[in-house]
Structure 1
Amino acid sequence: MTSVYFYLLVGVLCAAFALRAPALLRHWRDPLVRSVSLLLPLGAAVFFFAAPPTISQVNALTGVPNFSVPLVYGIVTAASAALVNLTIIWRGGPEERRRCATRWCVGVYGAVIAAQSALFALGDASDERLRDFDTYYATTPYLREMVVLCVLSYGLANLVLARLCWRWAREVPGLLRSGLLLIVTGSVLSLGYVACKFLAIGARWTGHDWDGVSTTVAPTVSSLASLLQCVGLALPSASQGVTSLWRRWSRYRRLRPLWLTMRAVTPYELVRIPWWSSLGKRQLRRTCDIRDGLRLIAPRLDRGAEQAGRGDARPGALKPDAARHVALVAAAFAALRGTRPGQEADPSLEDMLAGDDAQLVRLSDALRVLAVLDHPSGRESGARGAALRRG
């Protein structure tokens, strides 16, 4: 695997972290948000410091041959602990049980990092190795134990992660299940990475040279596994975000007929906002304009569509050609109040003005249907349909 591929993965993980940064700032007290936000920079750090150019630079800056090895091993072990911790928090359950499991996870993997640093200090790693440290020092006292300890801790973390996510995936549906299955797939591939490392190290112990399995196959498997795990972690939250955005956009679009009618009724120009404004600001502006217009024509709505169309309602500060639009709104309001008789209380104008946007959306939908029927072409098609049904 080339060095460019290492840095490409770093860029992907940093971009994912940047997308989650606003959520981290808003919900930094949420342990799940903190765990996901911590895992992404740790993964980026693993690939950044594992790239051969970075290894060479770190060794040169510190003046210690192979100083990058305990650094990378420590970050890999910390990322493994973060994976297990994230699954514990994500899974849920009693808070005291989660805290106890988190403390055990942090304690065990913290001890592993300390042991790796101690073994590196005790061993003799005077020859700098940028790619094949694992196999080159596979028979060196203390260093071989450090390598085995790192690979074992990484494999154990992914084994626990695969087991927890597999059990959980059988209990949940939808995109959460898909995300968990992707994590399981990535964890199984990570176990393949562990197998490649042990094959190469075991070959060295028996006097053979299978270094290519460790330097070529294992990093490729590891990068693919990390990518699948990151996608699996991001899939549920990303799908929720896309679904929420789609619902907000649909609600904003469905309010358009009622909003346009209010523009045709109110005697003043509605306040416009820049086109680059966020969807939330545009939604708020649209609902405020609608409620202002409904308050203006409120005395006319209860008199019914027929009186509003004749202009029998009390005169007010409306545009001269607003009578037809007021009649349509009155008819839509009357139709809306009669849609579900006996099931629940009919929505009143006060409910629409003081409640959420759901009633306004329903009123806008009813207005859109009536506006189509009120159009000449709509009336003709409706008459033809009625004649066909009678015939």
Structure 2
Amino acid sequence: MKDLGYYVPAVLLATGFACRVPGMRRTWRDPLLRTVNTLLIVASSVLFFAAPTTIALVNRVTGVPNFSGPLVYSILTAYNAACLVMIINWRGGSPEAARRASLRCLAAYALVIVALFTLFSLGDHSKERLRDLDTYYANTPCIREMIVLYLVAHSIASLVTTVLCWKWSVRVHGWLRVGLVLIVSGYLLNLVFDVLKFGAVGARWSGHDWDWLSTDAAPPVASVSALLVAAGFIVPLVGPRLSHTWQSWSAYRRLGPLWRALHAGPTVEGGSVRMAWWSPAELRLTYREAGILDGFLSLAPYFDLALHAAARSAAAGAGADPRRAKAVADAAMIAAALTARARDPEGRAVRGEQPEAASAIERAQDLVLVSEAFRTSPIVEAARRDSARAGSKQP
């Protein structure tokens, strides 16, 4: 069951990577997106290979006791390098300067990985340890140095990334700030992980047994940290898209009252279009706007510009700003026109189309204001009642 603390976040990160696979061919030349993809798969690999079950399997397959030790440490080191490269490319600047800095970072951490395997090969690691290799071999020559090296490399990367991201986060806003705060939170947990590991190893050096810091406390901290850091790098890339989609869905729903009112009577061209349930929010919004505008054209013979002017003056007098006052006037004119059309569908009492009235109603966000006014404004309700009362007085 304890392996779930490794495998569950590993699967989540791998799923995030899999979701990006279809677009990799288009974005592979973008160093920022390429590094995000690398970061996701490396973070997932760290957690997968650090699980005790996987550790035992790797040791058995390779036939080398504790071979998983330097393997996991190397993958973790590669993860640190990927994070630093991500920060380098994320901050922008000259592409050549970013490329040189990225190469220097990768070279430094590649040397660390080579040193980890070299120290492992020189040390005595004959007794397999699945969960407490760090503390069990804390006093073993060469293995001790390997453990300290990976912890120092991890601590340096965590500290540098935390400082850089924190300084950057106070100068930016929006989704980028959210991502940076998540990264800082994740790397603060990374530093907690390092403190726990150093504490357990240092206790062994002084003759004490604080192994629980390394075996029980540190792993869940590492899992949460990996998820936070990965989320921090992903959020600024997908956040704007999600925000735009949410705004489209919100506008689509808020246009519902106006759309339903316009299509409750005679069918309007464009009103019968059926969208598949998986259709994007932007496409649904476009069709709904088009259906509403088509409805306006069919109502044009019934529009009353005098009523529009009176409703606009009333809304302004009630304290509405010019844009909202116009939306209330549009909604009042539409409500009265719908009532007039309902009692005279053949249009015998109208005096021909009034294109200025139809074109006066704007698209997009103004349509949302019109829809909200249509549903809630007392001025619109008064126009609706007055139109119905006028119709009842006609012979």
Structure 2 residue aligned with 1:273: 275
> Would the alpha carbon gap of residues 365 and 170 (structure 1) be closer, same or farther in structure 2, given more than 3 Å must change?
closer
Greater Cα shift, 146-155 or 168-177: 168-177
Residues paired across the two proteins, number = 348
In the TM superposition, what are the counterparts of 1:172-191 in structure 2 within 5 Å?
172-191=172-191
Query: Partners of 1:240 and 1:327 in 2: how far apart?
Result: 46
Query: Partners of 2:213 and 2:372 in 1: how far apart?
Result: 66
Does the aligned pair in 2 maintain the 1:199–1:213 contact within 8 Å? yes
Cα-to-partner distance string for 1:143-162 (whole Å, 9 max, x where unaligned) = 22211111111111111100
User: Which of 341, 358, 369 is the matching residue for 1:333?
Assistant: 358
Gaps of 5+ in 1: 310-319, 337-357, 384-391
RMSD: 3.9
Query: Partners of 1:96 and 1:148 in 2: how far apart?
Result: 34
Structure 2 residue aligned with 1:321: 345
- Deviation of residue 229 (structure 1)? 2.3
> Would the alpha carbon gap of residues 254 and 179 (structure 1) be closer, same or farther in structure 2, given more than 3 Å must change?
same
In the TM superposition, what are the counterparts of 1:164-175 in structure 2 within 5 Å?
164-175=164-175
Structure 2 residue aligned with 1:389: none
Q: Which amino acid aligns with 1:274?
A: A
Does the aligned pair in 1 maintain the 2:162–2:188 contact within 8 Å? yes
In the TM superposition, what are the counterparts of 1:1-391 in structure 2 within 5 Å?
2-22=2-22, 24=24, 26-253=26-253, 257=258, 261=262, 264=266, 266=268, 270-286=272-288, 321=345, 323=347, 330=355, 332-333=357-358, 335-336=360-361, 359=363, 362=366, 365-366=369-370, 377-379=381-383
Does the aligned pair in 2 maintain the 1:373–1:379 contact within 8 Å? no
Aligned with 1:207: secondary structure? coil
Query: Partners of 1:367 and 1:331 in 2: how far apart?
Result: 20
Higher relative contact order (CA 8 A, sep 6+): 2
Query: When the two structures are superposed, what TM-score results if normalisation uses the length of structure 1?
Result: 0.74
Greater Cα shift, 234-243 or 265-274: 265-274
- Deviation of residue 203 (structure 1)? 2.6
Structure 1 residue aligned with 2:340: none
Q: Which amino acid aligns with 2:2?
A: T
Query: Partners of 1:196 and 1:23 in 2: how far apart?
Result: 39
Does the aligned pair in 1 maintain the 2:59–2:67 contact within 8 Å? yes
> Would the alpha carbon gap of residues 141 and 381 (structure 1) be closer, same or farther in structure 2, given more than 3 Å must change?
same
- Deviation of residue 380 (structure 1)? 6.2
Q: Which amino acid aligns with 1:128?
A: E
> Would the alpha carbon gap of residues 325 and 96 (structure 1) be closer, same or farther in structure 2, given more than 3 Å must change?
farther
Cα-to-partner distance string for 1:292-344 (whole Å, 9 max, x where unaligned) = 778x86xx9699757xx9xxxxxxxxxx93759998984643544xxxxxxxx
> Would the alpha carbon gap of residues 269 and 237 (structure 1) be closer, same or farther in structure 2, given more than 3 Å must change?
closer
Query: Partners of 1:84 and 1:67 in 2: how far apart?
Result: 26
> Would the alpha carbon gap of residues 202 and 363 (structure 1) be closer, same or farther in structure 2, given more than 3 Å must change?
closer
Aligned with 1:359: secondary structure? coil
- Deviation of residue 52 (structure 1)? 0.5
Identity within the alignment, %: 41
Query: When the two structures are superposed, what TM-score results if normalisation uses the length of structure 2?
Result: 0.74
- Deviation of residue 110 (structure 1)? 1.1
Q: Which amino acid aligns with 1:359?
A: R
> Would the alpha carbon gap of residues 330 and 25 (structure 1) be closer, same or farther in structure 2, given more than 3 Å must change?
farther
Cα-to-partner distance string for 1:243-285 (whole Å, 9 max, x where unaligned) = 2112222343455536874794646974423344333443454
Q: Which amino acid aligns with 2:220?
A: T
> Would the alpha carbon gap of residues 284 and 147 (structure 1) be closer, same or farther in structure 2, given more than 3 Å must change?
same
Gaps of 5+ in 2: 306-332, 334-343, 388-395
Q: Which amino acid aligns with 1:105?
A: C
Query: Partners of 2:47 and 2:86 in 1: how far apart?
Result: 20
Cα-to-partner distance string for 1:360-379 (whole Å, 9 max, x where unaligned) = 55357548757999999542
> Would the alpha carbon gap of residues 382 and 85 (structure 1) be closer, same or farther in structure 2, given more than 3 Å must change?
farther
Greater Cα shift, 94-103 or 162-171: 94-103
